[in-house]
Amino acid sequence: MTSPNLLARNKDISSQINYLTKIITLNPLINNIFLKAPDLKLTDYYIGAGCIAQSIWNYSCGFPVNYGIHDIDFVYFDSDLSYDKECEVIDNIKGMFGDLPISIDIKNQARVHLWYEKHFGYPINSYSSLEEAINSWPTTATAIGMRKNVNGEWRIYAPFGLNDLFSLIVRANKTQITKEIYEKKVSRWKANWPALTIIPWN
């Protein structure tokens, strides 16, 4: 029998997207966020990164839908860089989804450069858009953002495509992260999803 991830890898991008959205909607927690998020009236946001990739990995490996998912990344872009404004958005989102058993990690990508050096040890330039931020996310499989518009249409941004995601391949996106960050991250993922193929940094 051909594995589901192999079928997805061999399809064209339109079919891959249909397959992706089908799997994601099987995760009731994440799907609930997609359905309700338009009510927040944010114009530029995505749910993305690990929770999307790990939902695909769980489906492909036969694991429970929320296995290994520690948080849900909710990212948005607002040129108002004040801490108070970001806190207001965080409060609104957590107010809507505060009853979820998985935490939501909410960040304005326009102000990431303000705290990145303190957290990771080296500075980065400011992002000019939400898509530019996703372009720098740590791996090709997790550099993905999704949202569902009020009319029910999906918007998906995956700058490296979907082949690595469906092939269970973890490959470093060296735009911003360091070897140390990458290896620590993939070591944790490999322990949870042994079927992953980890591409070494070098």
Q: Note the pLDDT tens digit of each residue in 118-127.
A: 999 999 999 9
Half-sphere exposure (CA, 13 Å, Cβ side) for 16? 18
End-to-end CA distance of the chain: 34
Alpha-carbon distance of 93 to 145, in angstroms, equals 17
Q: What is the pTM of this model?
A: 0.89
Is residue 10's pLDDT more than 90? no
| Dihedral angle, C-alpha 91, 133, 128, 115, nearest 10 ° | 60
Average pLDDT, the chain: 92
Query: What's the pLDDT score for residue 85?
Result: 95
